[in-house]
Amino acid sequence: MPVSNPDRIGDLLGATTNGVGCSSSRKEDEKPVSLTGEKLSAIAKLYDEKCASCHGDQGASNGPAAKALSKEPANFTDSKAMERTKEGELFWKIGKGRAPMPGYEAELSETDRWQLVRYVRYLTGRSQYRYLGVKRAR
């Protein structure tokens, strides 16, 4: 994912990945949602409330509830796995769930679910810079 300046969150969140969208009829196509400033803070809080207990606060599948699950949660910091995962697929999984993860379609708006997709992509991008030794602004 080309990023002009790794310290700019907007670059990471506005970037698209290879192969966006899903051809499967049961999965939604990508719907780009921009996250910056207050939106980023709000969606980070939503991620903390709904996702971090299993996926971990940085998305490394190491949340406090992860060990008790029958299946390891997705690791959003695994860039190779995340490259293969389309935005529409993430959106579908957030909405419908995938055991042991519950679905949030009835609980979260479509916009919130798309923002979570972008936040997951942000976590993936952020982890790549950490491995490269690039210090990121918070």
Q: What pLDDT sits at residue 106?
A: 97
The answer to whether 13 and 80 have CB atoms below 8 angstroms apart is no
CA 37 – CA 14 distance, rounded (Å): 13
Instruction: Output the CATH code of domain 9-17+32-131.
Output: 1.10.760.10
Domain boundaries, the chain: 9-17+32-131
Q: What contacts 120, CB < 8 A, 6 or more positions away?
A: 59, 76, 82, 90
Q: What pLDDT sits at residue 85?
A: 95
Write out pLDDT tens, residues 4-57.
Answer: 333 444 444 443 333 333 333 334 454 555 666 778 889 999 999 999 999 999
Greater confidence (125 vs 106) lies with 106
Q: What contacts 100, CB < 8 A, 6 or more positions away?
A: 69, 70, 71
Write out pLDDT tens, residues 123-137.
Answer: 998 876 655 444 444
